[in-house]
Structures are given as structure tokens and as C-alpha cells.
Chains A and B, each alone.
Chain A
Amino acid sequence: MGHAHHGEDIALQVLPKDTAKIRTIWITTAILAGLTAVEFILAFAMSAGTMKTLWFVLLTFAKTFYIVGEFMHLKYEVKTLIWCIVLPTMFIMWFILAMLMEGDSIHLLREWVLTWAR
């Protein structure tokens, strides 16, 4: 039952191009290129600071959404699979926040020790 499996028997039919899908791919490409161009311009147009960093983070997340959602097709998977991938990344958010605060605190302590030593 079902073991008469000779690969050569299968004649795969070449299907016509899915033009709608290919269009979405190129639109996504244009969006990704556009967002990168905006980041590039912001790098020179804005002076360093929290606002600039915030813009970069937002634009990076937007690019992530398009790469993971469209290119990696996650948007079209079942909800459970989406959450299986997205939820654990919440731990990364916590990790980033905790370590940046820790780094800042170490910086302050170092400065404090240096001032105190003088």
C-alpha cells in the first residue's frame, strides 16, 4: 500500500508564474530599499540622541516585519506557529533592557570611583 514509489514516475507539471505573488515580492523589496535609504539619510540629517536611536529602532523593526512576514512567509503561517516564534523574542527585549541598564550603571560607578580617587 503506497509503497510503489518510483520517483521517475512522477512527471512534475511546471505551473505558470504567479504574477500577483511576484508583484508582492518586488513591492516588499522597494519598501525594504526605501526604509534603508531613510535610515541612511537620518544617519546624517539627525544629530546623535535618543530620538535618532528611536527612529533607527523603529525602522529596523519595520524592516524585520517585512523580511520575516513576507520573505520568510511567517505572516501566512498558522497563528500558533507565529506565536511560537514571536513570543520567545520577548525575552530578548528584556535581555537588551536589563543589560543596557547594567552597562550604564557600571559606567556611572566607574566615573564615581574615578572622581572619588582624585
Chain B
Amino acid sequence: MASASANVDKKTLWGGGYEPLKASYGKLMMWFFLLSDALSFSGLLVTYGFSRFSHPTFDFAAGKEFFFSVGHWPVPELVFTHIPFFHVNAPLVFVGIMTFILILSSVTMVLAVEAGHRNDKNDVVKWMLWTILGGIAFLSCQAWEWTIFITGTPEGLTLADGTVLKGASLAANEYGPVLFADLFFFITGFHGTHVLSGVIINIIVTYNAAIGTYHRVGHYEMVEKVGLYWHFVDLVWVFVFTFFYLV
């Protein structure tokens, strides 16, 4: 009877029986890893919320025009107002485009997973390549965003003692308290590192799919596992978009 099946006896894969949660070992561990990663990102975003709440905010009620100062927390949408190649004041447009790019790359990833369920090697490779392209496009946008933020405005910010702050770094920030810049670099940087590693893993999986590794193994579960990771990275950006840029 066992000789009829080319598969290993599935009970030997799990000491405790056949797939307790009806998910394979690899997928289950990916889920638990993502849960712990969600806690890491929560730590960073909660730190942002904590810092924002413990700093003075600009009082719009007084009818004044908003200005940048190290004394109060900036309004994020007034910090990120550029679009590459266009000299216009367009708050949130560039970051909105980045969000769409990441959502679309998530869609091409689900399509790759769907193709994997059908054992369709060519479709898997095609959709994975689109996903990689989306990831690279997102990272390029982020590099641009960082460059603009680090360079700062032509005028900079003149402090009371006459020092001029230009741009943002981990030690100085012309847009507001130093913590705002620090958390921008840490949160988008940690997320960007995830996207970068996701792109690298996607390239490896695409290569393996193209040379027929998963065809020989008999299933495309690896595509599902990297898919889970990629969607998670997209999800984190949804949260960064809301809690860093919008609120």
C-alpha cells in the first residue's frame, strides 16, 4: 500500500500526528515567525505613538499657519510633499503611489501562488518576476524619499541661537524634534530591509521555479511560504502609511 504512493508517510513529518492545524510545518512556522515580526513592528510604531504623544503639538486653534520647529511634532503630510521630477507641493501623493505599488506587487504574488496550486511553472515565474519588479520599484521610491528627507529644504531651519539645520539625520532634524527623524529612519528602514530581503528571497524562489526544482519536488509550497512573507511586508506598509504619514 505504501509503495503505491511516492510520498513519504505523512505521519512521520509530525511527531504528534498528521498536520495538527491542517497546515504544513513550513507554513505554520512562517505564520508564527510573522506573528513575532508583527510584535517587533508594533514595538517600533508604538514607540512612534509614545514619542508623538509626549511631545508638544502645534496649536492650529490659534489660527496660525503651521511652521517647522524643533519645539513641536511636525504634521507628517507637510514634511513629505515632493514627487520626483515635478516641482509641485503635493502632500502624500508620492507615498500614496508607493502604497499602490506594494499592493499591486502583493496581487501579483497571490497570482503566483494560484499558479503554483495549478503546477503552472511558466505562470509562477511570470507573476514572481512582476512581484520582484514591484519590490524593486518600491525600494527605489524609498531611496528617493530618504534622499529628499536627508537633503532637506534649501532654506533649512534657523534656530534661536542662529544655527541653521539642513535636512534630517539621526542627530539633527529641520522638520521637528530629532526623534521624528530617528523614528522615520528606523521604521521605514526596518520595513525597507524586510522588502529588500523579500526581493532577494523572491529572486531565489523564482530561480528555483524556473529551473524546475519545485516541479521535481512535486508541489509549489515554497511560493506560498514566501507569499505569506511578502503579504506581511505589504501589511506592515499599510500600517506605516496610516500611522506615520496619515495620522
Contact of A36 among B2, B99, B109, B120 (CB under 8 A): B99
Question: Are B111 and A25 interface neighbours, CB within 8 A?
Answer: yes
Q: A104 and B53 in contact (CB under 8 A), knowing A15-B119, A67-B238?
A: yes
Does any Cβ of B come within 8 Å of A45's Cβ? no
Kindly state the separation between the CA atoms of A14 and B79 in the bound complex, as whole angstroms.
Answer: 51
Contact of B46 among A8, A17, A48, A96 (CB under 8 A): A96
Question: Are B216 and A7 interface neighbours, CB within 8 A?
Answer: yes
CB-CB under 8 A from A9, the residues of chain B are: 6
Task: Give the residues from 1 to 34 in chain A that come closer than 8 angstroms, CB to CB, to chain B.
Answer: 1-2, 4-5, 7-10, 12-18, 21-22, 25-26, 29, 32-33
In the complex, the chain A residue whose C-beta lies closest to that of B121 is: A14
Interface size range of chain A in the complex:
35 or more
Task: Give the residues from 231 to 247 in chain B that come closer than 8 angstroms, CB to CB, to chain A.
Answer: 231-232, 234-235, 238-239, 241-243, 246-247
Question: Are A56 and B53 interface neighbours, CB within 8 A?
Answer: no
How distant is A90 from chain B, measured CB to nearest CB, in Å?
Answer: 12
Does any Cβ of A come within 8 Å of B210's Cβ? no
Contact of B118 among A15, A57, A59, A81 (CB under 8 A): A15
Does any Cβ of B come within 8 Å of A75's Cβ? no
Task: Give the residues from 71 to 115 in chain A that come closer than 8 angstroms, CB to CB, to chain B.
Answer: 71-72, 77-78, 80-81, 84-85, 88-89, 91-92, 95-96, 99-100, 102-104, 106-107, 110-111
In the complex, the chain B residue whose C-beta lies closest to that of A102 is: B50
Task: Give the residues from 52 to 72 in chain A that come closer than 8 angstroms, CB to CB, to chain B.
Answer: 52-53, 56-57, 59-60, 63-64, 67-68, 70-72
Kindly state the separation between the CA atoms of A12 and B241 in the bound complex, as whole angstroms.
Answer: 42
Question: Are A39 and B215 interface neighbours, CB within 8 A?
Answer: no
Question: Are B231 and A71 interface neighbours, CB within 8 A?
Answer: yes
How distant is A111 from chain B, measured CB to nearest CB, in Å?
Answer: 8
Task: Give the residues from 195 to 238 in chain B that come closer than 8 angstroms, CB to CB, to chain A.
Answer: 215-218, 227-228, 231-232, 234-235, 238
The residue among A2, A4, A96 with the most chain B CB atoms within 10 A of its own CB is A2
Task: Give the residues from 104 to 128 in chain B that come closer than 8 angstroms, CB to CB, to chain A.
Answer: 104, 106-107, 109-111, 114, 117-121
Q: A57 and B242 in contact (CB under 8 A), knowing A15-B118, A25-B107, A103-B51?
A: yes
A positions within 8 Å CB-CB of B = 1-2, 4-5, 7-10, 12-18, 21-22, 25-26, 29, 32-33, 36, 39-40, 43-44, 47-48, 52-53, 56-57, 59-60, 63-64, 67-68, 70-72, 77-78, 80-81, 84-85, 88-89, 91-92, 95-96, 99-100, 102-104, 106-107, 110-111
B positions within 8 Å CB-CB of A = 2-3, 5-9, 21-23, 28, 31-32, 35, 38-39, 42, 46-47, 49-56, 60, 75, 77, 91-92, 96, 99-100, 103-104, 106-107, 109-111, 114, 117-121, 215-218, 227-228, 231-232, 234-235, 238-239, 241-243, 246-247
